[in-house]
Amino acid sequence: MLKEKAVSSLGQSTLLLPAWIKSALSANDRLKLYLTLLQSAAQHADAPDASMIDWGQELAQAGLHDAAWLRELVKTSYLDGNVLVIPQLDPLLDALASDLTIMARPVCDSGHRAPEDLVVRRDQWLQRLHGMEGDEGLNREVIVQLTHGDRQQGDSFHLLVMDLHKQLNALAAEIATENLDGAHVWQISDADRPFIQSFMRGLNRTASLKFSHPGLDTAVTRDGEKLLIQNDIGTNDAHVLVLEVEGTTLTVTYSDLHAARFAFFCHALERIGFQWKLFDPVTSTGLNGGKPYHVGKGTLVAEDEEMLHAGLQGIASRIVFVIDWNRARKCLKNFVSKSQAVEILVRAAEKEWGHMAWLLAGGDQLVFNAMQTVDSEVFRIGDRLDGVIGEAAATEFLLDLLRISSHMLLLQQPAAVIADEARLLLTQVLRRRTFEFDLLAEHAAYCHALAQTLSDAIETSARPPVDGTDPLVSRAKTWERRADHVLMDARQRAVRQRHWSAVVALLEKADDVADALEEAAFMHSMTVIPPMRGLPAPVRHVLQQLAETTQAAIQDLVKAIEIARHVNEHGDAADSEAFLQTLWRMLQAERMCDDLLRQARVTILQTLHAQPTDLLLANDLAKTLEQASDSLLETGYALRQMVLTNTGVST
């Protein structure tokens, strides 16, 4: 299936003739090579011991380097009497018929006057080729009828190809396409030229970012009141863009077999003012192997010509970023989530760095090699980059790598230099890595939420709803479970990466804080459930002091974690001082909680001595709050130990 079929399916057949001619000339080259290989196969069968020609270069020049069956055709053919047995006969016949159809199309099917005998000869040979399908080989007479170029011997397939080629050359001269700033244009008016030049200005601004990848050929013509622009985005059949300019309105019809890339391009054009009408996925006979593809129509109504020119430049400048976009997305998914992979490509396009240079420099293998070279202890086989250094750091690293790759390749630097840059960049990321602190901060945030809610509940002593459910208990349980999940995440990482062991040790102590606060929330809920009538004001007051002191210590833990991110062997002395002062306040809070527990027990005994059940429950609640402060102190010591170890200070 060829790209021009996709253009036709979008309803712009006026644009097809130059593309048909271009494809027909390529088909002519392939047909002549097929016939040459057939003759070579017959000669090799006659003299199997003679040396064979290597056809690799010719196949590559014809774009057939991936056709393995053609490489086998000459050496696997043999004679059986008068018949040349060709194991690859069916694909050969199919290729001859397909390329004959392509070559004859602009001459016989475009509406231009063509010699009638060419149409008849084409149809006869197509019928004859299809009639040979299923045979094991060709006899010598048929081979001659296919390959000879002597008109005195009568017609041949080769002579038909020669005659079609002559007509193609005449037709190409007749439409007389002009090159306007790189666009192939025909039948345009002088008034169209500025619009074409604006489009090409935007296209050429970013076209270098495709490097050696095919694509971005532009064809332009006028169809009545509309100026039509088609861009050949790449090699995929269903990946086509057709732009119409009518008055001050731009209308782009875009098709793509990948839903994610389709959405990416639509979003990019929305940013420059296009509004989209999306259609249901389309299936066209012979297009994209019969699989559905996505089609949409975007419209930009310009307020004036200046806006129209800006729109033409804008859309043209975005096209290069969809070339090989899906391959880049798949490579990036080895290191970050699906959504982050798309976000990276969006940002790289907005910055006009692109992704092709990164792919050409090695793509995902470039990153894998950097991960293993920089620190094989940190990065183990199977690790995803964002799982080790965090989503934000992984995203910024990959973006920087895309930027560096584009810059280096545009300067024609070798891929080895980019590999060195990748390793250096990742080394710098690891030096400022704070992902462990992200987990610590997340866990501390859950502890703070538990303490805040518990403190508020003790102050108000609100009764639960009549159905008996207590929202405090439910919320506390949810936060405690989320804190548990943070700890489990760290434990899983520690299995693969030894440096996470210190984080696990710290989180295990912090998780005791969360457990104690969740248990305290449950105990408090029991004090307001009938037959309990809530705790007296003096008891609530002393318990609230305990809760608020614990909450303040957790706030200091949050601060200490944030300061610890930036404390290293080269860190600011002020950061180190602030870190130690924060830990000192946590120590003081633990001592205050010891004193407050004693005061609470005295108050509880004096107030609730006649109510033994209430007394026991209030005492247990106070003790549990004090246990949370004990665990906080242990957490602070563990954080101090981790920071001192990271900075190389002996303890």
Q: What is the pLDDT of residues 392-434, one digit of tens each?
A: 889 999 999 999 999 999 999 988 899 999 998 988 887 666 6
The Cα–Cα gap between 78 and 317 comes to 54
Residue 593 near residue 629 (C-beta atoms within 8 A): yes
By the 10 Å C-beta count (0-12 exposed, 13-18 middle, 19+ buried), 629 is classed as buried
pLDDT of amino acid 352: 95
pLDDT of amino acid 437: 83
Compute φ and ψ for 639, nearest 5 degrees: -65, -40
**How far is C-alpha 15 from the chain's CA centre?**
32
Which of 513, 505, 517 has its CA nearest to residue 639?
505
Encode burial over 83-92: b for 16+ CB neighbours within 10 A, e otherwise.
Answer: bbbbebbeeb
Which of 399, 407, 412 has its CA nearest to residue 350?
399
Compute φ and ψ for 553, nearest 5 degrees: -65, -35
Q: How distant, in Å, are the alpha carbons of 282, 289, 534 from that of 616? A: 72, 76, 14
pLDDT of amino acid 48: 86
Neighbouring residues of 353: CB distance < 8 A, sequence distance ≥ 6: 209, 399, 402, 403, 406, 407
The Cα–Cα gap between 280 and 296 comes to 9
Residues of the chain with pLDDT under 70: 1-16, 19, 110-114, 173, 176, 234-239, 279-291, 293, 375-378, 380-382, 431-434, 461-470, 568-573, 646-651
Number of helices (H), then strands (E), in the chain: 24, 11
By the 10 Å C-beta count (0-12 exposed, 13-18 middle, 19+ buried), 260 is classed as middle
pLDDT of amino acid 432: 64
Domains plus CATH for the chain? 12-175 (no CATH), 178-322 (3.90.1150.20), 330-431 (no CATH), 435-646 (1.20.58.220)
Residue 354 near residue 321 (C-beta atoms within 8 A): yes
pLDDT of amino acid 214: 79
Q: How distant, in Å, are the alpha carbons of 30, 294, 632 from that of 297? A: 36, 11, 60
Q: How distant, in Å, are the alpha carbons of 40, 65, 442 from that of 37? A: 5, 14, 68
